[in-house]
Each structure stands twice: as structure tokens, then as C-alpha cells.
Structure 1
């Protein structure tokens, strides 16, 4: 985080810089509005903290310039006790918040985090408006997703078989569609079949089709998916569930690019790109002799490991914005964003169901939202507890530090602090007395 601090009071300004350094926040200082204007034209900041009264260009004039011609960033206005009316005018002009001098450092940083969060969230939905599954709207700027995108650019023009691996709900079909849409086959059919979702006795006829009279009830010819997808792409989802006897027939398709309908005697040439997907460990299935080794090697030409949502957490805001727009259109709502604590809860959540679970959560939240903002209550999640905090010292010292920090996080609210710590309120009160934290 980098802040621009604008104040003509050198002593106060230096104190503020020292506080920011303690919080690991980078700063740039300016002693008047004109100087601040120059910095804003030359550098990038996440927020501006500025005083109302300064020589040359004052705070209100600088704020007006930021709103009309400057960069889009949040402004926190500082004012003295006698300047409340001016602070209110600043809010009307577009300042996100104001704080009255003197103030406690904790209050300043809490308000800064809030206005920066709000600015970030306002951008999420706007970016989500233009996002859709495909290429132009690739949902994901994380290193993992950008690496997959770069790989798709290389493999899409080729006819090679692709194997997508990853847990359920990670978006394997989305990636398969992206491969198809950026291949020479883009204007041809893209078909998908969930191997595990089709009864074994019907799977063969679904894939290969059948001739009239091939079996009892076959009153006419049926064209299978391999033929329907001619010149296009066929996604074989959950390929690890394919019965062994059908794996042999699929292997012939991969090797010879020919099929034979059930009950037929003629080989039919096909031109279909095969993409297979699985949430299972195919190597382990091969060792267990539940998946043919030769079939595995035929499929494993180009392999893409799709990351879990936990492995690409930086994409959660983008996905949230996209899903809000989707469900607004579907349900007829006008949800415009998500509360900062609700987004933090999503970012702290484990998501065993991955992107699909996030989609379901946002659908629920959009339906339940009574305002234009999704709240923590709408999501049905509990507030996140700070993770990966390392405490040092004796057990008593560690316990005291954890209690003190929980009380700070909840601004002294003992009920919430007790819930976070997993103890009763009565136990917390006795610990507060024991450790003299009152």
C-alpha cells in the first residue's frame, strides 16, 4: 500500500509517516495541494490522506481537481474540531471519509482500510460486467490461470488430445471450451458428456451410435456423439469412470480416427478433437489395473492441471463480480457489490467445492440480498479468523497475546472475541482479569 499524505504541518506529517512505516505502509508527503497535484500526476497511490486547510491549493480545491481531472482513488480528509462543516462539504464533493484531529492511529488505519476496500470492491463488479466464460472474458489473473491461458494459446491451433486434471468444480469444462473457441474448429460443434453420469449399458450407444435392429428396441439408426461432433470438439468428462471394455473401443478411435456403430459393419472416419477430463488420479488407476495404460498414454499428450480455488484466491473478487452480474440478469436483481467483511470471509473460506461452490454461494446471496450490497449474513459464512499468526513465549504469554488481539479486533466486544477464541464469555472475562487486560 502506498499513501499520499498532504499536510502543511511538518511535525504532524512526520508523525503520520512514522506511524505508517510501523504499519509497513509506503508514503509520499506533500505540504500543499499544488505539490500533491504534481505527485498524483507522476506516481500511483492507493489513497490520499489530506488536511483541509493548506496554503496555495487547499484540501477542498485539491479534492475537486481529483474528482474532475485526477486519478480515481479514495480520499480521507483530516479536519480540526472547528472545521466539521468543511469536512461535510468534502464528503459531498466525493471524499470517502473524514477524521477529526487529534485521532488515535488505530482509528485512522481502520478507516483507511475501509475506504480502500470499498474502492476495490466498486471495481470488482464493474470488471465483472464484461466478463463471461470464454476468452475475451477470461476469469482469472492469478499466475496459475495466466499460465494456463498461455498454454491454451499454444495448443488450441493443433489437433492434439488434451487431458485436464483437477478436483470437481475447478472449471475444467470452461478451459475445454476455451481451447475449442480458439481453435480452427471454433465454428463447429462443442459437445460434452459426463462419462460417470451415463449408465454403463447406454454409454456405448451414446458415444458410437447404433444401427437399426442392433438390439431390442433399436427401431431406427442413432447417430452417436463422435459423429455429431464431426469437425468439432468432444469433451469426455470424468474419463476415469469409463468401463474397461469401452476403453478399448475409445483407444481405437484415438489411434485410427474411425468408429463403428453398434450393429454396424462399416468403419466410419471421424475428425473430432478429443479433450478428456478427470478428478481422479489416472496413474493410480493404471497401477490398480482399473484404467488401461495404453489408453492413459494416448490421452496424456498435453496435460493441464487445473488449480483449486484455494490455489488461485486472488481470482475470487473477479469471480464474485462475474457471478453477481450473471445472477442479476437471471433473477432480475440489481446487486452492485459485496461488503468488505463478506469478501474477506470468502477469501478466508476453504471452498471444498471450488468455483462451483462459490457460484452457488453468490447465487444464494443475490437472492437473499435486501440491498444493493451482499452481506456476510447473505453468504451464510462466519467471519474469518486471522490465520498463520505466529505467537512466541510461554503458554501463558501466548494465551494473553491471543486474547488481547481478539479484543482489539472486536473493539472490546467480549462476546465476539470469545466466539473467535472458542471459549465462553465467562471464561474470557476471567482470563481478562487474570492477565490484567481490562
Structure 2
């Protein structure tokens, strides 16, 4: 017989669960506070715990952490009100299996959740999750951050909450949004995406809300908007940070009330559309700069997912290349030298840029080679390798000559500046970032040598705090023994 622990300060909640769960044949223990919780887990073993996030003498997240130490195998469901959904999402990051919102409107769904956690193997659920990701072309790989992201996305997919996806350009925000939609209860309804930065304010408004016949010149007949078409489905608002303030006001109204009007219309319409928004800019900073509404950000940022850039998951580079080769129906493979070269590159365009590089290499090599060597890679990758190999060699010998590096860097940038050929601005910006890293590294190394490793004195000379110096030593990859 499975044993279930319920911790909630509302006695009627405990009474409900006792009757509901004992009738299904479960052994149920009820507690009302943190003290009861500690006593019960000391005396009993539990297979599942349902814990309220707010208790008079304890925090539900603290009890979750304690339970994961005392009974690691026990699955946990956090109970929450809507206002504490963000806390419940944090609980999932700490190991909770799921969360439910109070009051419990859908008892059948609650029953399925409990039975599923107790009787369905975790392995089976994980297999379904990874299989869905693979089907949609969402390559997760071995990177821990990506795997944690997928698990969190899979768990919140079935919740009727808005999601904000952050990530640099080309990291795969739309693919993640599609994954969330496909794993949700809305999977058999429309998934529609719109890029807020790719269309004008007037066009975006008519695209989102539709328009009536005669609303403007050229409106010869009425047109449904995306909110109408995506009703009961998912709307993916890409680059939400590019939406004008006027459009943001109208979006806020839909998110708050579910109501909107067509352009030129007078009838209030209703929609039940889940919003997944994405951005490559910092919306909190945009709020401070008065270019994004704080109340809209509050509505969008119920759950925030951040996709790591490609340069932070290079252990998956070979797997991504293999996936792209398969997608291109190519029998070619990349040499180890090519892979090493690609691992040295900054990848400002992330996974999208990687696909373009693979596609270009396949096009050039097809018919004249079976293995793609560095010869078939863009110059920007080979340049990155040559600069970094010089840097690595000098660091290894502990004789970094910043003057030589600076001259080489300036020469490379000037050659691109003077060239009449097409320039890859993203690559230029990546070189600037490399220079920033190298300049920090060189000044810090020079100062640490002069102070014989005395970090306090070095920090004083650099006019930064010791804490900032420690951060830079870690962030810039400088040998702490220098």
C-alpha cells in the first residue's frame, strides 16, 4: 500500500485528501505545519508528499529540501495559489515532481497526477519527454543545463500559465516553444508564431487581432486575427521586446481579461490562448529604460526559461553536427581537426549559425571529399582558431605578449575594414568580445605577477573589489595560481 503525506494548514484540505485518497486505497497521514512534518517523516516512510507552499511556521520549499534529504525516493507535489506559481516553479527546480493550484477545480486531473506519480515509472515519463524533443528536432544532448531546462519545460507544459523564453539569437527559442505546446493539453489545437520585430506596428495589430471590412484602405473583407485562430491553442510571440508600447497595451488587455477587438470593430471578442513569449534582450532592463511595460512583463514572466548559448554547451557540438548532417541527407562527416576548430569559435549566431556552417561545408565538399576538413570551413572559424591557438600557447608558456596579440587583433580587424567583400558583423562583434576577455586577462595576470599573487593588492591596483577580482578570475578562465 502506497503511503501519502499531506501537509496543509487548512484543515478542510487535509480532510478532503484523507477521504479522497483513503477511498482509493492509499495510507494517508495529515499534518498542519512544519512541526507536524518533521515528526511524521521521522516516524514514517512516504511514497508521495503533497505540501502547501505557505505554512504558518515553515516554507514549503524548505520542507521539500528536507524531505529530499530524508526520503530521496519520495515524490513531492507542491500545493499553491496562483499568486505563488513562480515559487512552485522554483520547487520543481529543487526536485518537486509537480505542483497543483488551489482550489482544486479539476479533481479528475488531480487524481491522474497522483496515480501517475505513484504507478508510472519516472523512466517511462523521461522516455516520452526525450522522444517528443527528438521528434520536434530539439537537440538536448548531454549538457546538464539543457537537460534541466527540458525537464522543467515538460513539467510546466501541462499548466495553463504563460511562459517567457530568454536566449540569444539562434539558440532555438521557437523550437522550445513548439515543444511546450506539443507537451501541453493544447497539443491538438493551433500553434502559431509571429515575430513582433519583423512587422510594422499597424500590420502587427491587424495580424494579432484581425480587422473588419472597411477598417482601412484595402480591407475589402473581414479577416480573423491570430488570437482568434489560435483560440484554445498557443501563440508564440517571438522578439516580444520589439513590440511598440501601443501594441503592448493591447496585449496586456488580452492577457488580463482574454478580451480584444478587431481593428475597426466594436464587438468585444474572447480568446483562450496560451502565450509563450521569447526575447533575446533583457526585458527587466527594457522596463528600466521605459521601452517595455512592467505590468506586461509581470503577466508574461510567470515561468521563465533560459536557453544557454552554444558556446556554453560545446560538449554537444558533435551531436548537433551529426543531427544537421542527417537533416541534410549527407553521408559526409567532419574531421577531428574541423571539430576542434569549431570548438574554438565564439558562435554569436548559436545553433542557427552552426547549421548554416554545416550546410555551407556540405555544399562545398559534396562530390570532391568524404570528410569535411578545415579547408571547407569559413575563414572566420579558421581565424578564431589561429588567434586562440597563439593565445593558448603563450598562456601555457606563461609568457603572454599582449603587444603582439593586440597587433595581430588590430591587423585582422583592419583587414576586414578595408576589404570590399561582404562583412559578417556578428563575427566582428565576437572578435570585440574576445578582445575584452583578453584585455581583462592580460591586465589581471600582469598585476598579479607584480603583486606576487596578492589578490587584495592586485584588486587595489586595478581599482576593483577583491570579490570582483575573484569573479573575473573565474569568468575569464585565468589560472588562480598565477
CA distance 1:131–1:346, shift in 2 (3 Å)? farther
- Aligned counterparts of 2:267 and 2:135: Cα–Cα separation in 1: 38
2:151 aligned partner: 150
8 Å CA contact 1:176, 1:235 repeated in 2 = yes
1:206 aligned partner: 207
Deviation at 1:184, TM superposition (A): 1.1
The answer for unaligned runs of 5 or more in structure 1 is 1-129, 400-438
1:231 aligned partner: 232
1:32-75: CA deviation from partner (whole Å, max 9, x where unpaired): xxxxxxxxxxxxxxxxxxxxxxxxxxxxxxxxxxxxxxxxxxxx
Deviation at 1:371, TM superposition (A): 2.1
CA distance 1:154–1:132, shift in 2 (3 Å)? closer
Aligned pairs (5 A) from 1:369-408: 369=365, 370-380=368-378, 381-382=381-382, 383=385, 385-386=388-389, 390-391=395-396
Worse-matched range after superposition: 191-200 or 364-373: 364-373
1:274 aligned partner: 275
Bigger radius of gyration = 1
1:258 aligned partner: 259
CA distance 1:246–1:340, shift in 2 (3 Å)? same
Deviation at 1:388, TM superposition (A): 5.2
Deviation at 1:139, TM superposition (A): 3.4
2:222 aligned partner: 221
Tell whether 2:335 aligns with 1:334: no
8 Å CA contact 1:244, 1:290 repeated in 2 = yes
1:368-390: CA deviation from partner (whole Å, max 9, x where unpaired): 11222222111233256446564
1:264-314: CA deviation from partner (whole Å, max 9, x where unpaired): 122211111100001111111111111111011111110011111011111
- Aligned counterparts of 1:349 and 1:187: Cα–Cα separation in 2: 40
Tell whether 2:375 aligns with 1:362: no
- Aligned counterparts of 1:244 and 1:344: Cα–Cα separation in 2: 45
- Aligned counterparts of 1:259 and 1:364: Cα–Cα separation in 2: 45
1:116 aligned partner: none
8 Å CA contact 1:233, 1:272 repeated in 2 = yes
SS in structure 1 of the partner of residue 175 of structure 2:
helix
The answer for unaligned runs of 5 or more in structure 2 is 1-130, 405-482
Deviation at 1:236, TM superposition (A): 0.4
- Aligned counterparts of 2:372 and 2:264: Cα–Cα separation in 1: 57
TM-score (norm 2): 0.52
Deviation at 1:394, TM superposition (A): 6.9
CA distance 1:394–1:294, shift in 2 (3 Å)? closer
- Give the number of aligned pairs: 263
1:351 aligned partner: 347
SS in structure 1 of the partner of residue 278 of structure 2:
strand
Deviation at 1:195, TM superposition (A): 0.5
8 Å CA contact 1:186, 1:232 repeated in 2 = yes
8 Å CA contact 1:211, 1:261 repeated in 2 = yes
CA RMSD between the two structures? 2.3
Deviation at 1:352, TM superposition (A): 1.0
Deviation at 1:134, TM superposition (A): 4.3
8 Å CA contact 1:258, 1:267 repeated in 2 = yes
Deviation at 1:185, TM superposition (A): 1.1
1:232-264: CA deviation from partner (whole Å, max 9, x where unpaired): 111100000111011111001111112211121
CA distance 1:354–1:221, shift in 2 (3 Å)? same
- Aligned counterparts of 1:207 and 1:216: Cα–Cα separation in 2: 18
1:33 aligned partner: none
8 Å CA contact 1:134, 1:178 repeated in 2 = no
TM-score (norm 1): 0.57
CA distance 1:374–1:392, shift in 2 (3 Å)? closer
Aligned pairs (5 A) from 1:311-322: 311-322=312-323
2:171 aligned partner: 170
- Aligned counterparts of 1:142 and 1:393: Cα–Cα separation in 2: 31
- Aligned counterparts of 1:303 and 1:131: Cα–Cα separation in 2: 21
Deviation at 1:200, TM superposition (A): 1.7
2:311 aligned partner: 310
CA distance 1:306–1:137, shift in 2 (3 Å)? closer
